[in-house]
Amino acid sequence: MKADNSPARGMRDLLPADVATRDHVLHAITSTYRTFGYQRIETPALEDINRLQGGQGGENEKLIYQVLRRGLPETTEADAPIRDLVDLGLRFDLTVPLTRFYGNNHATLPTPFRSLQVGPVWRAERPQKGRYRQFYQCDIDMIGEPSVLAEAELIEATTAALAAVGLHDITVRLSDRRFLSALATDAGLPEESWDRFFITLDKLDKIGWDGVRAELADMGLPTTAITAALDKISNLREVPAEKLADALTTAVPSLADTVVDDLAATTASLDRLAQQRSLRWEFDPTLVRGMGYYTGQIFEITHPEMSSSVAGGGRYDKLIGHSLGKDVPACGFSIGFERIVGLLSDEIARNATAVLAESDISVADALAVARDLRSQDRVVEVVRRSGKLGAPLKRLQTAGFASFVSVSNESGTLMIGDKRSI
């Protein structure tokens, strides 16, 4: 009886052509990051459940695959908390594990530490088209660098990585959480409303200015403050680079000079980079980025063929303090690996050669012919054959073979044909 062989709900199998595309993208990205000094690390897929539910993961903490303790009795007791049966969970991102990793290993790591992480994360999200419950993330982080050297380099390295994948027509969007807080202050929004204000502003793309205004009014925020905040934001859109510092200090008087200087330094570096590469950048006062742990500049990269961003990140100077016990400046950038793979669905050519061995050829002979050919060709497969050539050749072509060599036995003599294209 045939069993149901589907993967678990919301998961997927990756076929050879899928993996080839993914490996190609991963190799392009990671080899570029390596030239900037980022070094790959790996953490376990399972982390302590208390760490995963520590409050840094936002909504993702509700989507954790929780792992049962080992050695439990076979049946449950009445009214025991389910939570007590669990001690581990599958990671939902690579940032929470990175902060633990840094806390555990910082004594042996250089300062700044340039980390590269690539690997699967798991979220029990409602299954939907193109979203999977296991998917890859690809993050670089610079830990221990307080200056915008981190921001500027992370952005440059990520644009270079995307160019290596073939994504050129990109725009870097930049803002700063400190700017958003100062703006909220100057507009007269009460501090306890800031988080919800940011969340609403983040929806501007989807619900428009009127939608944002209505949602803020529904929160009971004062109309004058809402109008002041949205006017300031609106006035700061599409300000040219050379006028940005002035526009910021005018619109948001309480903004600290260091924030303006930091933005000027990052944009100066982006300007210089844009002279060498096709690259657009803009200060975007509507940019929020979802995670609550950002403390400074935030940024994302967009591409005309994708509705959501290709990559996103920012500075998080307080996060490592939770695990290490003292704050360490840190900044990260995460590439939307699965989105990029979805964009580049071209199959990678295999360019393999088949050794078509008649059924009366000994295994030792067939493998020896393949071994000889392998010294010249990249990929050589042995394929057993009986009878006509037509059908096998058709199959080989479909499977990505470019050429074949026929091996037959004629009156006891091994006959090796010339290599022929398919």
Please enumerate in sequence order all residues whose Cβ is within 8 A of that of 244, keeping only pairs 6 or more positions apart, or say none.
Answer: 263, 264, 267, 283
Segment interacting with its own copies, rule: CB under 8 A, options 35-43, 170-178, 295-303, 404-412: 35-43
Segment interacting with its own copies, rule: CB under 8 A, options 64-72, 169-177, 180-188, 288-296: 64-72
Site for its own copies in 110-149 (CB under 8 A): 110, 112, 114, 120, 122, 124, 134, 145, 147-149
Q: What are the φ and ψ backbone dihedral angles of 46, each rounded to 5 degrees?
A: -95, 135
Site for its own copies in 205-234 (CB under 8 A): none
Site for its own copies in 284-313 (CB under 8 A): none
Q: Does 276 bind its own copies (CB under 8 A)?
A: yes
- Answer for which of 204, 381, 393, 403 binds its own copies (CB under 8 A) is 381
Q: Does 48 bind its own copies (CB under 8 A)?
A: yes
Tell me 346's DSSP state.
P
Count of residues engaged in binding its own copies, rule: CB under 8 A = 107
DSSP 361-418: S-HHHHHHHHHHHHTTSSEEEEEEE-S-SHHHHHHHHHTTEEEEEEEEEETTEEEEPP
Segment interacting with its own copies, rule: CB under 8 A, options 176-184, 264-272, 339-347, 413-421: 264-272
Binding mask 78-97 for its own copies (x = CB under 8 A): xxxxxx-xx-x-x-------
Which helix (H) or strand (E) element contains residue 255?
none
Query: Smallest distance from the beta carbon of 56 to its own copies, in angstroms?
Result: 12
- Answer for which of 55, 325, 390, 412 binds its own copies (CB under 8 A) is 325
- Answer for which of 28, 29, 152, 330 binds its own copies (CB under 8 A) is 152
Query: Smallest distance from the beta carbon of 33 to its own copies, in angstroms?
Result: 10
Please enumerate in sequence order all residues whose Cβ is within 8 A of that of 37, keeping only pairs 6 or more positions apart, or say none.
Answer: 114
Query: Smallest distance from the beta carbon of 366 to its own copies, in angstroms?
Result: 7
Other C-beta atoms closer than 10 Å to the C-beta of 419 total 15
> Cα(217)–Cα(197) distance, rounded to whole angstroms?
10
- Answer for which of 58, 72, 280, 394 binds its own copies (CB under 8 A) is 72
Site for its own copies in 329-358 (CB under 8 A): 350, 352
- Answer for which of 55, 74, 304, 418 binds its own copies (CB under 8 A) is 74
> Cα(225)–Cα(335) distance, rounded to whole angstroms?
36
Specify whether the CB–CB gap between 174 and 283 falls below 8 A. Answer: yes
188 to each of 176, 249, 284, 344, how far by Cα in Å? 19, 17, 21, 46
Q: Does 362 bind its own copies (CB under 8 A)?
A: yes
- Answer for which of 318, 322, 343, 393 binds its own copies (CB under 8 A) is 322
Q: Does 76 bind its own copies (CB under 8 A)?
A: yes
Please enumerate in sequence order all residues whose Cβ is within 8 A of that of 28, keeping only pairs 6 or more positions apart, or say none.
Answer: 161, 164, 165, 166
